[in-house]
Chain A
Amino acid sequence: MEIDDALISRLEKLARLKLDASERADLRNDLNSMLEMIEKLGSAELEGVVPLEYPGKHQAIPRKDEAKGMIPTGEALKNAPEADFPFFQVPKVIKK
């Protein structure tokens, strides 16, 4: 697989980014060298090896359905770049 201009445009759209020509070229090079590295993994001998999704052996432990651990609204808004109590505030999502 090769990262071409069309794919860069698609990724640009999905990531909601606007890239200029030099950024596109840089990103294309970077991604292509990453792909090359990943493709090397393809040469590993994996016959009979079960895919490993979780390295640890532990299982998740479900919890009881209890309401607890909430924080006050004021505290929740503290970390937000912008807020209008009691809401988080973000740049307009829908343009009218």
Chain B
Amino acid sequence: MRVHMKYETVIGLEVHVQLNTRSKAFCGDATDFGASPNSQVSPISLAHPGTLPRMNTRQIDSAIKLGLALGSQFPEEIRFDRKNYFYTDLPKGYQITQDAKPICQGGSLPIRLKEGYRDIRIHHVHMEEDAGKSIHDQKEAHSLVDLNRAGVPLLEIVTEPDLRSGAEVDAFMTAVRQLVRYLDISDGHMEQGSLRCDVNVSVRLKGESVYGERCEIKNLNSMKFARQAIKHEFKRQTELLENGQKVSSQTRQFHPENGTTSPLRSKEDAPDYRYFPEPDMPPVPLEMEKIKSLAKEAGTLPWEYYNTFHDTYGLSAEAARILSETKETADHFLRLVQQSENKQKQIAKTGSNILIQHILPRFPLLEGFPLKPAQTAQFCQILVAKIIPTRAAIDVLLPAWIKAPESDPEQLIAELRLNKQTDTDELRRALTAIVQAHPKEKAIYKGGKRNLLGFFMGQALRKVGKHHDPGEVRKLLVELLEA
């Protein structure tokens, strides 16, 4: 048995979610991404003397929405603390954060793994503000500072040490991104820094109930780096233990160029942040009414959609996953099914096939898809009721309807002459012509090579598939070939 197999990785995360507010956490500066440096600043974010912070209602509402989705407990009042440290991208000399009483306590987030959903426990979620950005590589003796990001509102989600591998961290971050987009509290762009995570990693022998000494790896801004850092830490820590050494509690930094980590500071050197209640913002009571009204506004959550699609409508796990991926897709599909009073399961199956195979590849995340759920439902009903042949519906009617979403489908069917034709004489004439045009193939078929029927079917459907059912065509073809 390989040495590493005896051990398991224990991982806890601190995920920073940048909120999609219009203004900063404690002042009115805009928060647009990519604005020119130091163009979104004010005396408050620059920490000029005498300025005072004011809370942003939307940051509080966003935190409550997230807490409701996670099933967290809320405190009776909202209060902030100061975290003191000195760095040039933090003009005040302290960060306004929540230390003693975070806005959300406890809760859990279900993550999707191969074997199904698993709940990851949340320790708490707190509100805070971001720091500015320092640029170190432009000048020899100086660093440049851009304070556009200083004061941008963040939520920090702190998990319990419930994750066991890089793949699970991946699944957790995917679930966070999906949830914040569903709740419309963040754009969830990892590459723009809207989601960042610090990873706490320790190892222990499998079956052990006590956690090992942990190391914190800071500021991993991509999933690839997070996975590499975890892999490296697992190897480094198990090797230390196998050699009879101890893992010491450290903050470590990740090196993207070779996938390794190195110590940044030890526990003894940990900064003393001297937290204390923010004197400039006295606590505000958190009204039950506010929580209730936000709960009323809350829509269906991703895993709730998934369960409905999978359990109630009988979709496969993969189809349910794809359709619940974004709120737009999930809403469209659910409304499509709910439009139909009967045959819901059949409509659901047809609808999911149409969306996944024919619509989503052309309109990813349904962006720019012009048909309303009622129209997609109508299209599925045309298919289920076999009003026109399937091929005609998918290849001709659907693209035509997408081009002219205002049209009436019945009129389109008539205009495009897609109506199923009941004239079997005409069908017989068309098929006879095809058979007569291929005497050699007919002879081979009659000689016993029955799979040549596929060849004739291909020819026939190209010619008459728009107007006739494949079953009908096949029946008549066999009759003509046998003759």
Contacts and interface: CB of A to CB of B under 8 A. Distances in A.
Interface of A: 13-16, 53-54, 56, 58-73, 76-77, 79, 82, 84, 86-94
Given A67-B30, A70-B40, A76-B41, A91 B141 contact: yes
Given A54-B283, A86-B38, A93-B143, A67 B135 contact: no
B284 A88 contact: no
B46 A60 contact: no
A16 to B, nearest CB: 7
Contacts of B285: 59
Nearest to A65: B58
Contacts of B48: 79
Contacts of A59: 282-285
A66 B56 CA distance: 9
B348 interface: no
B277 interface: yes
B281 interface: yes
Contact of A62 (B22, B140, B284): B284
Contacts of A60: 54-55, 281-284
Nearest to B54: A63
Interface of B: 21-23, 27-31, 36-44, 46, 48, 54-60, 86-88, 134-136, 139-147, 269, 271-272, 277, 279, 281-285
Contacts of B39: 70, 72-73, 86
Contacts of A94: 136, 143
A21 B291 CA distance: 58
A59 B287 CA distance: 13
A69 B28 CA distance: 6
A92 B55 CA distance: 33
Given A70-B29, A73-B38, A87-B145, A92 B57 contact: no
Contacts of B41: 70-71, 73, 76
Given A60-B284, A76-B41, A79-B46, A66 B29 contact: no
Given A73-B37, A76-B41, 12 more contacts: A59-B282, A62-B284, A63-B55, A63-B56, A65-B22, A70-B39, A70-B42, A79-B46, A87-B135, A90-B143, A90-B145, A93-B143
Given A59-B284, A76-B46, A87-B37, A65 B56 contact: yes
Contact of B142 (A58, A61, A90): A90
